[in-house]
Amino acid sequence: MLKIYVDADACPVKEEIYKVAGRYQLKVFVVANSPMKIPLSPMIEMVSVSGHFDAADDWIVEKSEPGDILITSDILLADRCVKKNIRVLSPKGIEWTEDNIGSAVASRELMQNLRHMGEMRGGPAPMQKQDRSQFLGKLDQIIQSLKRKSK
């Protein structure tokens, strides 16, 4: 069964995920370092992990299987999951694949170094309506593609 994993601590598109998953009757695992409010549904499960900094990431990598979907802004988690043949989508609608994840990891490292040296400040641009629209379109496309493959 196709499952959606949500790296939920800073995910701005949780409500959109719930709606799409409900339409397709997909199981959603909302994974975070502390409990959060989720809709009452047998198809949506809150997984609160504790321990080290990357505990939620480690849980997702351990439990997810090829053909599942992960929603995350975390490039390093995306990299780990792409290597497991998990479809990975950012909240802004960018699908991470073997073809583009390497450059994203390198860019992340460069930006981190520049921020550490004081050359850069700030973070990613805030979510826009068009980002949400792109996310919804891409999530639907990924689900349709995976459902065709499983027939």
Question: How confident is the model over 66-89, as pLDDT tens digits?
Answer: 999 999 988 899 999 999 999 999
pLDDT at 107 over 90: no
pTM given for the model: 0.86
Task: Give the distance, in angstroms, between the CA of residue 72 and the centroid of all CA atoms in the same chain.
Answer: 2
Question: How confident is the model over 114-149, as pLDDT tens digits?
Answer: 566 666 666 667 788 899 999 999 999 999 999 998
Burial class (CB in 10 A: 0-12, 13-18, 19+), 71: buried
The architecture (CATH level 2) of 3-150 comes to 3-Layer(aba) Sandwich (3.40)
Q: In the predicted model, what is the mean pLDDT of the chain? A: 88
Distance in angstroms (rounded) separating the CA atoms of residues 30 and 128: 23
**DSSP secondary-structure letter at 40?**
S
Which one has a higher pLDDT value, 68 or 110? Answer: 68
